[in-house]
Amino acid sequence: MTLRVLVPWQRLVDELTIPGIEPILWHINDDPEDAPPSDVLVTERPSNPQLRSRVSRIKGLKHVHLLSLGYEWVLEHLPEKVSLTNSKGAVEDATAEHCLALILASLRQLSQVGKQQRERNWTRTWTGSLHGSKVVLLGAGGVGNEIRSRLLPFKPAELTTFARTERVHEQGYRIYSLDRLRGFLPTADVVIVALPHTPETEKLIDAEFLSAMKNGALLVNVGRGPIVDTEALLLELLAGRLHAALDVTDPEPLPANHALWSAPNCIITPHMAGDTGQFISLVSELAVNQVIAFAHGEELANQIIN
């Protein structure tokens, strides 16, 4: 029996063209028609939320493998008895690297310096730095851990990690529970969001949270857009009180006429933290291994739903 597998990239078609497997090129974002009947779906997260329901209409579907860490978007569209895996281990490094780039670009005011370059204006600018800063990191999963490891060489004065449950990490540092977070905000220079989107984290970064941050502090979000109350953040940015560096937004994609685009002291990248050549290689290798394992009835890595 041939396993029919929907894949979004030609590279995956080429690598999965092997006996017993029939790869079918179909992209959840780009294809005008719903997917043909298939056993396995390998997919990216749809950029258009309205397309997420296409997963529920795939006849014969038995397994979904996500080319990402985040899986919350697919749960309500997953047919009964369909298993689910993600790409844990392939995404974290790229996301952490992008997070560091956002932090440094914002603290060192590269947007302003770039403007000066275009104007041929040689004016030295005094900036902030990670060295000596107090940093609050929300998230102690794979991405959060990779971000933390990249921050340490920059010698922050303090680096405090928060997650859902309080514990001591295997590397020996303490992770505080999120309900203790507010006491750390008034002195934090940088607050980094690397949390998943759940009912508990929905609009965790609200007006009260933002107002507790000190003047001039930087909010960085590489988690999910809905964790931050966009309107509350926009008010703080327009008042000139806070800075922001966002790889994710709410709504997403951000409409062209949205006020966040032109807000002062705000860097926006279009949910591209994982978009590197190395990520593509890692995530493709994992996807191929998952499909082959599924075809042979073997145990899958990164099982979210069995």
User: Per the residue annotation, which of 4, 54, 98, 271 is the catalytic one?
Assistant: 271
Q: In the annotation, is 11 catalytic?
A: no
Backbone angles phi, psi at 265, to 5 degrees: 55, 40
Q: In the annotation, is 252 catalytic?
A: yes
Any bridge partners for residue 193, and if so which? 138, 221
Instruction: Indicate the pairing of strand 21-25 with strand 3-7.
Output: parallel
DSSP, residue by residue, 17-54 = -STTEEEEE--TTT-SSPPPS-SEEEEPPPSSGGGGGG
Task: Map residue 203 onto helix, strand or coil.
Answer: coil
Nearest by Cα to 297 from 80, 126, 62: 62
Q: In the annotation, is 65 catalytic?
A: no
**Residue 287 contacts residue 12 (beta carbons within 8 Å):** yes
Phi-psi region of 239 (alpha: psi -120 to 50; beta: other; left: phi over 0): alpha
How many Cα atoms occupy the beta-carbon half-sphere of 268 within 13 Å? Answer: 22
Q: 281: which residues sit within 8 A by CB, 6+ positions away?
A: none
User: Per the residue annotation, which of 252, 296, 298, 299 is the catalytic one?
Assistant: 252
User: Per the residue annotation, which of 224, 296, 298, 299 is the catalytic one?
Assistant: 224
Question: Residue 216 has which token pair?
Answer: 């001039």
Q: Which residues are catalytic?
A: 224, 252, 271
